[in-house]
Chains A and B, each alone.
Chain A
Amino acid sequence: METVWFMIIALMMAAYVVLDGFDFGAGILHLLVAKTDEERRTVLAAIGPFWDGNEVWLLAGGGILVFAFPRAYAAGFSGFYLPLTIVLWLLILRGVSIEFRSLEASTLWRSFWDGVFFLASSLMAIVLGAALGNVIRGVPLESDGYFSGPLFTNFGLSSHPGVLDWYTVLIGLLAFAMLAMHGALFLRLKTEGEVHRRATGLAGRLYVAVLALLVLATYASAMVQPKLLSGIGARPLAWVLALGVLASLIAIPTSLKRTNEAAPFFASCGLIVSLLAATATALFPTILSSTIDPAFDLNTGNAAAGALSLQVGVYWWIVAIALAIGYFVFLFRSFRGKVDIHHDYGH
């Protein structure tokens, strides 16, 4: 049962990154792809009906983490105290900038929120990547099951690393490039005209950056966390997922050349999901590694909640996720096609 919950959490986190990822990407790129006010409103209208629902996947994933692995939730959230608070401030600023920006006609007001939207989205992408980097590398968990990570030390690896070191920053940059590309592909799918043209151009260039950073990050990850390589080697599921990463990496540039606009975006979704799932499969059953002593690792065995909780939770989860998928399919279908801010939106 613990294994099932490990998979559920990994899947929900992957769904979160795929979904909120495209609106982070839209935020990172909107100053570049949208120059006029009308174009910026097009970008916002493209993500408007979705961003709030996308963010809910983070909340639901967090709720499930408390429920299934309370010790991991307690250790992780208190250990990353300051970085997580900064995440919250960024999420607040981002949400406010999306919702408040177009409520006032003044150019200054709108430029201000455009800037906030860009900054908060960019930093969020980097912070999410760095968080994943921390999970892969491990944190200074002690025997009491808690840790306290300083924001940074000397940016080098040791048994007491900072939240930001060269490795986690590298993963942060990879996340930044990958979500920017993901956002570009989403905007390409949802828009027409200039925005569409610029998004297409940027997607191609970002792809090159993603490829370079991914090679670098894979090599670095294998060095930093030996469990990763041995885990991939030992588990056939990880091979399949690694193949999924390769297939997505090939599919993005080839499908970009064709007229089908959905294909590259879905390939990018596939890239994110298979990459995250492969990482989770390789690390299983560890949830948080200790850099001090492997005996202090939190894993599915020592961090899980009681058996009854996990048992009844599965039934609830199946019903809930079936409903949620239904809602989201309906939502995305209702707003399918290109965004047209002159006809579709507002009351």
Chain B
Amino acid sequence: MDAVSWNRFQFGFLVTYHYLFPTLTMGLALLIFFMKLVAYKSGDERYDHAATFWAKIFGINFAVGVVTGIPLEFQFGTNWARFSNYAGGVIGLTLALEGLFAFFAESAFLGLFLYGKQKLSAKMHLFASFMVFLGSWLSGYFIIATNAFMQHPVGYRVGPRGLLLSDMWAYLLNPWAFWQYLHNMTSAVVAASFVVAAVGALYTLSDRHKEQARVFLKVGVVAGLISCILILFPTGDQNGKMVAEYQPAALAAMEGKYETSDKAELAIIGQPDSVNKRLDNPIIVPYVLSYLAYGSFGAKVKGMNDFPKDELPDNTELLYYGYHIMAGLGTIFIALMLTSATKLWRGTLETSRAWLWMLMLAFPFPFIAVTMGWMTVELGRQPWLVYGLLRTIHGTSPKVAGGSVAFTTLGFMGLYFVVGVLYLYLIHRQIAKGPIDFAQAHTIDEAGA
């Protein structure tokens, strides 16, 4: 493996692993604020206890998110020095704003939220939970805006030593960032809703904490249904249209489309064969790709065969599967949540044991879908680091050897494995302890977040 591949592998590993945690953080932050709000408005204690229970899990999850996030801020400089040098004058703005506006709010109010229940008034505690939500969602925006510049650069000009900012608002309000942000944030709510509903299902099935389980199921299923629909339309749809417009080579690879054609077909299933340049065993729907990509059934869609090789993503197979797994799972989520919501509305959800089993076991899949979505957008950007401006092979640190990157990659993998095992153990313990017992468990936990 050459140095560029090691660098790409390391960044891919670190960001994929890290992002599992903020996904839950951002989604839960919204749901916890919502529970606190309901409790505050209605005085319903069950919602306050629910918020307290999820705050415990939030605290553990947040801590792992923070410690695995710090390396990413360093990665741009340590592993991608030529990229930082070239684009730092532009993307540095959002990285700095994230630290200044989002991280400060998030971390200061998290301390107040997790440790301050006895010290603050109910209103201030509600406000602290709102600020944690706001901080984490702002942080998401600044990172997406940074990524959007790499996908679709706007608001810059080329200076003698690299890129310079020419229009701040154009950069901050990149149209790519707008839709990608909404798509990404709804996916975080999907993930958190599935987790909340899964714990509700677990308690109902094991006949424990019935009151709390009812709240979890209700919040999880309602938030889950709304977010699952929003993730397809309009946010997912608009993301697809942007890829079609700005990154047509990525679109062709995502769809496994080799031949250029109008009235282009959408492949639901099939295996791309990049040697013989065809999709094996395809199940297709005619005309639909033209419509989804360009809004007309007759629109022409350019296939991979008609792009020069050095403009095509270098891993078209993984890109194809990333996109198809994401889209397939998203469709299943809608069906799952629609049925759950119907059962909830009819009052039969708590007694449908088979369905509760499904809800309980479904929670890992949104995380898979989110990961696949990010793989789609990042592999689709290749071979560019900043689309059309800087190639990935020209972005690495010139004086860092591949062997050094291999060493640190292995170190990170070992460390993250241990952190992951501990995380699962502690979350498991928190769920096993349940939402009611925290009063008794007070003596053990008081110093922990």
Contact = CB atoms under 8 A, between A and B. Distances in A.
Interface string B56-83: 1001100110111011011011110110
24 contacts: A49-B111, A52-B63, A52-B110, A60-B99, A61-B99, A62-B73, A62-B77, A62-B99, A63-B73, A70-B92, A77-B76, A77-B81, A78-B399, A80-B78, A81-B79, A81-B400, A99-B59, A101-B448, A308-B168, A313-B96, A316-B97, A331-B109, A334-B112, A347-B117
Nearest to B404: A81
Given A78-B398, A84-B74, A102-B448, 17 more contacts: A53-B104, A59-B99, A59-B103, A75-B81, A81-B400, A92-B70, A92-B415, A100-B60, A101-B448, A102-B447, A144-B398, A147-B399, A316-B96, A320-B104, A344-B118, A347-B52, A347-B56
Contacts of B115: 48-49, 335, 344-345
Given A70-B89, A327-B105, A95 B166 contact: no
Nearest to B59: A99
B326 interface: no
A49 B92 contact: no
B413 to A, nearest CB: 12
Contacts of B67: 91-92, 95-96
B332 interface: no
Interface string B127-147: 000000000000000000000
Interface stretch (B23-31, B245-253, B366-374, B437-445): B437-445
A306 B89 contact: yes
A48 B111 contact: yes
A324 B60 contact: no
B296 interface: no
Contact of A71 (B110, B161, B444, B448): B161
A103 B66 contact: no
B398 A146 contact: yes
Contacts of B63: 52, 95-96, 99-100
A309 B165 contact: yes
A78 B77 contact: yes
Given A73-B84, A77-B77, A306-B164, A328 B445 contact: no
B96 A66 contact: yes
B268 to A, nearest CB: 42
Contacts of B120: 334
A148 B398 CA distance: 9
B438 A308 contact: no
Contacts of A67: 88-89, 92-93, 95-96
A327 to B, nearest CB: 4
Contact of A103 (B79, B100, B164, B429): B429
Interface in A138-159: 144-148
Interface string B385-419: 00000000000011110001001100110010001
A92 B96 CA distance: 22
Interface string A271-303: 000000000000000000000000000000000
B77 A73 contact: yes
Q: Is the interface of A mostly helix, strand, loop or mixed?
A: helix
Contacts of A95: 63, 66-67
B339 interface: no
B162 interface: yes
| Range, interface on chain B | 35 or more
Interface of B: 52, 55-56, 59-60, 63-64, 66-68, 70-71, 73-74, 76-79, 81-82, 84-85, 87-93, 95-101, 103-105, 107-112, 114-120, 159, 161-162, 164-166, 168, 397-400, 404, 407-408, 411-412, 415, 419, 422, 426, 429, 438, 442, 444-449
A74 B77 contact: yes
B56 A60 contact: no
Contacts of B56: 347
A75 B105 CA distance: 30
A222 interface: no
Contacts of B52: 347
B419 A96 contact: yes
A63 B96 contact: yes
Interface string A306-339: 1011001100110011011001101100110000
B60 A56 contact: no
B73 A305 contact: no
Interface string A24-59: 000000000000000001101100111011011011
A326 B411 CA distance: 39
Contacts of B84: 66, 70, 73-74, 77
Contacts of A162: none
Given A63-B73, A77-B81, A146-B398, A82 B404 contact: yes
Interface in A80-125: 80-82, 84-85, 88-89, 91-93, 95-96, 99-105
A323 B448 contact: no
B99 A63 contact: yes
Contacts of A308: 164-166, 168
A71 B76 CA distance: 12
A50 B104 CA distance: 11
Nearest to A344: B118
Contact of B100 (A60, A93, A145): A60
A60 B99 CA distance: 4
Given A145-B85, A327-B105, A49 B91 contact: no
B120 to A, nearest CB: 7
Nearest to B106: A56
A64 interface: yes
A205 interface: no
B43 to A, nearest CB: 19
A76 interface: yes
Contacts of A206: none
Given A62-B73, A146-B398, A346-B447, A85 B408 contact: yes
Contact of B79 (A64, A66, A78): A78
Contacts of B426: 100, 103-104
A37 B92 CA distance: 44
B407 to A, nearest CB: 8
Given A48-B447, A96-B422, A334-B112, A74 B82 contact: yes
Nearest to A316: B97
A128 to B, nearest CB: 14
A213 interface: no
A335 B113 CA distance: 12
